[in-house]
Structures are given as C-alpha cells and as structure tokens.
Amino acid sequence: MIRALALLALVLAPVAALGEEERGTTCDLHAFVDADDTGVLALYDGLRKGLELAQLPRVCQAELDPRTGIAGFLEQLAAEASLLLTEGRPIGPVFAVGDVSAEALVAAGTRLPRVFAVERYTSARKPLRPLPADEGAAVVYADLSVEAVGALLRRLTGTSRPAVAWAWDAKVFPPSAHEPVMAFGQAAKVLLKGAEKKAGVQALLHLRLGVGERLLPFDEAVRLARELGVPLISDDRGRFGQGAVVTLVARHRLVGRLAADAARRLRAEPGKVPAPRAVPGVEVWIDLKSADAQGVAVPLPLLAGADRLKRGVRFVRGTK
C-alpha cells in the first residue's frame, strides 16, 4: 500500500518541480529554461527523458551567478570545454528551452555547441516569425499549424469564415506584429475583428504569436469571453480548466526528445549542425465547464475528436 501511494505521488508530481529534483545532483549538460511557461517545462521534461534514453549525460537547469549572469556561466563552460577537447572527450551541448532563453543565449554569442527548442506558429510549414538567429545552433521547434487552427475554429463556430478577435491589449500593437497577424488571418481563413467592437465576434483568441504583442491578463480574457458569449481559445497548457473552452497544446515532450537527439548528433559529429527540425501536430483539449460558463455549445464532432476532455454541467451538447 505504501509503495502504491509513493508511486502515485511520483506520477502526480508537477513538471514545475523539476528544479527541486535537480538540486544536489551532478550534471554534465546545462539548460537555460523559461521556467514560467508550462509548455516549456513539459518540453524540458521531454529533453531530460530523451537524454536518458540516449544514454547521454544528465542535464540540469543552469544556476546563474547574479553578478556575472549568463555570460559568466558560459565563460566557465567554455573553459571546461577546452579541457575536454585536450582529453578527446565530447563537449556539451548547452540548451536553450523557450524563446526568452534562446534570445539570451544568442545575445551571449557563445561558440559552444548549442541546441534551441522553441514553438512557432506556421503557415504552409513556414514559421510566422523567424527561428533563433544563430547559424551554428541546432534548432527543434513545435510546429503549430495556423491552417489547423482555422479548421478548428470553423468546426467550433459552424461558419466558413469565423470572425475572431485577439485577447490582446489593443493599446500595445507594435509594427512588427502587423504582417504575421495578417498572415495568420489569411492562412486560418478567419475575419479579424477588434474585441472592443463586440458585435459579430465568434471566438476570442488568447494566443501567443510572440511578435511583441501584450496578452490581456487571463482572468480579464475569461471575463471578456463571457461578456461576448463566445469561446475563449488558449495555447497555454497551464490554463486548461481555468476558463479556456479550447486549449491548443503542442507536442512539447516530443520536441524535447528530438532536442536530445540533436545533442547526440552534435556530440558524435562536432561541427556538423543538424538542419532545423519541426514537430508538427497540436492536441485539442476541451473544457465543457468553461463552455457552459461562456454560453457555448461545442459541436459533437469536435468533442469526439478531442484529445482531452473536461466535463461540464452537461457532458453532451447539441451541435449548432
């Protein structure tokens, strides 16, 4: 009985506790991780398991000295790498998991072997915004198809060209966002409208394109969706069950495992950088309790195809 309870506790342990697991352990590989993003943490979990399966050294999140930061940490790693080279032993690589960490690693300008693991919305398999600009790094990314998002919105709303609004702060819309947002609308075959106009909006998108936009606080987005009587769509797996009717979830753990495979290749053939690798596919998680709260009827075919379902007051709803 005690053993069963211990196993259950291990299975239910949150991904966010990974840092606690690593304290006091010896790690030969290091990662910079966007620790406030649940998707990135799931990706990092996949990386750790992928390295274990490949029988590569263990990875830990880098603990930075506040006085020297990432530059000081990388300088120390470079010194250790030079010793490994003289001994004929493989080097690194160092990992950047998530865009904030990737940008920091690019800015640091290290020449150590490195692997980036990020997410990108894509249209016709082309990212709406560039991958990390580091020519000497291996890149693996979750490919979130805008066309697939558009198809889901059409099934959800029952219309051929849904009118959707972004749950963004309308006062903060940088010029860099205009082109990718328009590309999103065209590829998804949706009509982009302002949420402040209210009339005619059929869905509210709380999606992170990463083009300098500022998302509304999630609680405010939930309130707005209820006010409009439309479904809230999120791409943050940590928000599932908190107010989004549909949560779009990338294949984070597979991205992590392929990042581990990129590390294996870099160690086996130093200097030969693998081509960027995309991991297509997105899971659809549906929360019927939130659908009830927002006055939304989720069509039965969409329910049948959901990868994960949270029951609401009424488990089965009629189609529109």
The mean pLDDT value of the chain amounts to 86
Residue 208 within any structural domain of the chain: yes
Are residues 136 and 217 located together in one domain of the fold? no
- Residue 182 and residue 42 in one domain: no
CATH number of the CATH domain containing 255: 3.40.50.2300
State the residue range of the domain holding 186. 146-248+283-310
Residues 221 and 124 in one domain: no
Check pLDDT > 60 for residue 23: no
In the chain, the number of structural domains is: 2
Choose from 173-177, 193-197, 277-281, 312-316 the range with maximum mean pLDDT.
277-281
Q: Quick check: is 320 in a domain?
A: no
Residue 26 lies in a domain: yes
How far is the C-alpha of 237 from the C-alpha of 239, rounded, in Å? Answer: 5
For position 28, what pLDDT does the model report? 85
Say if residue 33 is in the same domain as residue 123. yes
124 and 102 fall within a common domain: yes
Residues 236 and 262 in one domain: no
Q: Is the pLDDT of residue 306 over 80?
A: yes
Same domain? 182 vs 226: yes
212 and 151, same structural domain? yes
| 256 and 299, same domain (yes or no) | no
Query: Mind listing the pLDDT tens digit for each residue in 54-95?
Result: 999 999 998 888 888 888 888 888 887 776 667 667 778 999
pLDDT tens track for 238-262: 999 999 999 999 999 999 999 999 9
316, part of any domain = no
Neighbours of 310 (CB within 10 A): 15
Domain-located, residue 163? yes
In a domain, 131, yes or no: yes
Asked whether the bond before 270 is cis by omega within 30 degrees of 0, the reply is: no
